[in-house]
Amino acid sequence: MANPELPREAADLLGRAGALLCGTRTSAPETQTPGPEALSRLVSLAADGITGCSGASALLWREREPAIFAASHPDLAELAELEGSSGYGPVNAALASGAPVWSADTLDEDRWPGYAAAALARGVRCSVTLVHQAGPVVVTLSLFGARPGQPGPGDPLLARLTVLVDANNSQVDGPVDSITTLEPITDKWRAFGWEATDLDGHDVTALAAALAAAADAGRPQVLVCRTSTRHGLACLPPDADGHFIKLPPELAAAAAAELTVEMGPA
């Protein structure tokens, strides 16, 4: 199975792995062995910072023998122990090839049936195992997801998905923030792995530019469009807010006249 392009966050993390692993030592400088706390930090960064990653484990190898292990969850430690005792699975495959090993959906995995069954029993539906050389040691980092294709590029159709949120701060009884708050909207979307952009929803030029950029981003996007139900009609009073603006006849006529002028002749 061909390995797809790695998640951007995983590539960034691997780029920093050398410095991270060399940051803490358990032995004299001449042996240069990273300590358990460095490996635990690597696992923590992966589990917390990589989109779609539900858990991670890492194994430091010296002369092809496992030396230090870390996992973000006991189930993943059990899975690593099973692979170690059987001698087959994605970590052993990555160590042997020196290249990432990708399993897009554990349900379809036929390279290691016993391992796949154990992974499924622990809720693992997707994994990618990465290999990194740091001086005299080799580190394998395994990322696990609870959904097929995550972590990873996932469904290419989802990667092109763009959502527009009409953040108009309006509800039936008036402004939303007079009752409660939905903020921070963009941060909430980012917490679920989306790239979020906050912009003026009435700025057509900015909106068109954001849509064009989202089409080439390669991951799900959300555009949080700040709008007002009063925008564009100068005749509406400041308190004319809500999904159900009820205008007296004279104000409705003024709004229709203003719209007619704005739109120009038919």
199 and 103 within one domain: no
191 and 118 within one domain: no
Pick the closest to residue 165 from 151, 186, 146 (CA basis): 186
241 and 172 within one domain: yes
6 or 2, which is more confident: 6
- Average pLDDT, rounded, for the chain: 80
Pick the closest to residue 32 from 22, 41, 40, 42 (CA basis): 22
Task: Say if 260 falls within a structural domain.
Answer: no
Domain count of the chain? 2
pTM greater than the 0.85 cutoff: no
135 and 19 within one domain: yes
* Residue 69 three-state SS: strand
253 or 232, which is more confident: 253
170 and 68 within one domain: no
Maximum CA extent, the chain: 87
Determine the structural domain holding residue 191 and report its residue range: 156-248
96 or 240, which is more confident: 96
162 and 84 within one domain: no
19 and 78 within one domain: yes
What are the residue ranges of helices labelled H in 60-219?
A: 74-86, 90-97, 113-121, 156-159, 185-191, 204-215
Q: For residue 53, is pLDDT > 80?
A: yes
Q: How confident is the model at residue 134, as a pLDDT?
A: 65
Task: Say if 222 falls within a structural domain.
Answer: yes
Task: Say if 102 falls within a structural domain.
Answer: yes
Counting residues of the chain whose pLDDT is more than 90, the rounded percentage is 32
177 and 121 within one domain: no
Written as six digits, the tokens of 265 are 């002749």
Q: How confident is the model at residue 5, as a pLDDT?
A: 47
CATH for 44? 3.30.450.80
Task: Say if 187 falls within a structural domain.
Answer: yes
Q: For residue 48, is pLDDT > 60?
A: yes
217 and 119 within one domain: no
Lowest mean pLDDT segment, chosen from 52-56, 74-78, 173-177: 173-177
244 and 198 within one domain: yes
92 and 48 within one domain: yes
The Cα-based distances of 249 to 172, 234, 235, 236 in angstroms read 21, 16, 13, 13
Task: Say if 254 falls within a structural domain.
Answer: no
Task: Say if 259 falls within a structural domain.
Answer: no
